[in-house]
Amino acid sequence: MNSFTFYVTFHPKACPPEQPITIGFERVTTSLLNSIKGYRRVFMHSGNWWRLSERIRTPSRILSSLRKLSEVCNVEGFMSINIPPKVDIQNYDIWNLPKEIRERALKRSLEYADILLQSSPKTTLYCSYEVGTLEDSMKWYRIALEHGHVAFGAGFAGFLMGRIRVEAYKRMIEVIVGARSVIGDKPFHASGVASLKLLPIICYAGATSADGSTPVRVALAMGQVYDITGKAHGVLRLERWNCTCRMCSEYGREIIKLLKDDYNLRVRHNIEVWNENLAVMNEALREGRLEEYITRRIGRSPLLRKTFEYARELRRRLLRR
Ligand SMILES: [Zn+2]
Q: Distance from the CA of 76 to the center of ligand 1, in angstroms? A: 28
Q: Distance from the CA of 293 to the center of ligand 1, in angstroms? A: 22
> Which residues, 6 or more positions from 83, have their beta carbon under 8 angstroms from its beta carbon?
49, 57, 105, 106, 108, 109, 112, 129, 130
Considering only CA atoms, which of 91, 217, 70, 94 is closest in space to residue 155?
94
| Mean pLDDT, the chain, whole residue set | 95
CA–CA gap between residue 14 and residue 290 (Å, rounded) = 29
> pLDDT tens, 98-132?
999 999 999 999 999 999 999 988 999 999 999 99
Q: Distance from the CA of 296 to the center of ligand 1, in angstroms? A: 22
CA–CA gap between residue 292 and residue 272 (Å, rounded) = 23
Radius of gyration of the chain (CA): 19
Answer whether 0.85 is exceeded by the pTM: yes
Q: Distance from the CA of 246 to the center of ligand 1, in angstroms? A: 7
Q: Distance from the CA of 123 to the center of ligand 1, in angstroms? A: 34
Q: Distance from the CA of 220 to the center of ligand 1, in angstroms? A: 16
pLDDT value, residue 104: 97
Q: Distance from the CA of 243 to the center of ligand 1, in angstroms? A: 5
Handedness of CA 104, 105, 111, 117 (dihedral sign): negative
Q: Distance from the CA of 209 to the center of ligand 1, in angstroms? A: 24
Q: Distance from the CA of 273 to the center of ligand 1, in angstroms? A: 7
pLDDT band at 68, cuts 50/70/90? very high
Q: Distance from the CA of 7 to the center of ligand 1, in angstroms? A: 19
pLDDT value, residue 169: 96
CA–CA gap between residue 207 and residue 121 (Å, rounded) = 22
pLDDT(321) > 80? no
Q: How far is CA 145 from CA 46, 138, 194, 210, in A?
A: 20, 11, 27, 20
Q: Distance from the CA of 259 to the center of ligand 1, in angstroms? A: 9
Region at 158 (left for phi over 0; alpha for psi -120 to 50; beta for the rest) = alpha
Handedness of CA 80, 28, 121, 182 (dihedral sign): negative
CA–CA gap between residue 146 and residue 128 (Å, rounded) = 15
Q: Distance from the CA of 63 to the center of ligand 1, in angstroms? A: 38
Q: Distance from the CA of 2 to the center of ligand 1, in angstroms? A: 27
Q: Distance from the CA of 262 to the center of ligand 1, in angstroms? A: 13
Average of per-residue pLDDT across 267-289: 96
Q: Distance from the CA of 245 to the center of ligand 1, in angstroms? A: 4
Q: Distance from the CA of 241 to the center of ligand 1, in angstroms? A: 8
Considering only CA atoms, which of 16, 257, 20 is closest in space to residue 248?
257
Q: Distance from the CA of 192 to the center of ligand 1, in angstroms? A: 24
CA–CA gap between residue 295 and residue 41 (Å, rounded) = 30
One-letter amino acid of 144: A
One-letter amino acid of 72: V
Q: How many other CB atoms are found less than 10 A from the CB of residue 32?
A: 18
Average of per-residue pLDDT across 150-159: 96
H or E stretch covering 23 = strand 21-24
Q: How far is CA 220 from CA 24, 33, 151, 235, 255, in A?
A: 18, 22, 33, 11, 17
- For the ranges 186-190, 307-311, 316-320, the lowest mean pLDDT is seen at 316-320
> pLDDT tens, 189-205?
999 999 999 999 999 99
Domains in the chain: ranges and CATH: 5-212+287-318 (3.20.20.105), 218-273 (no CATH)
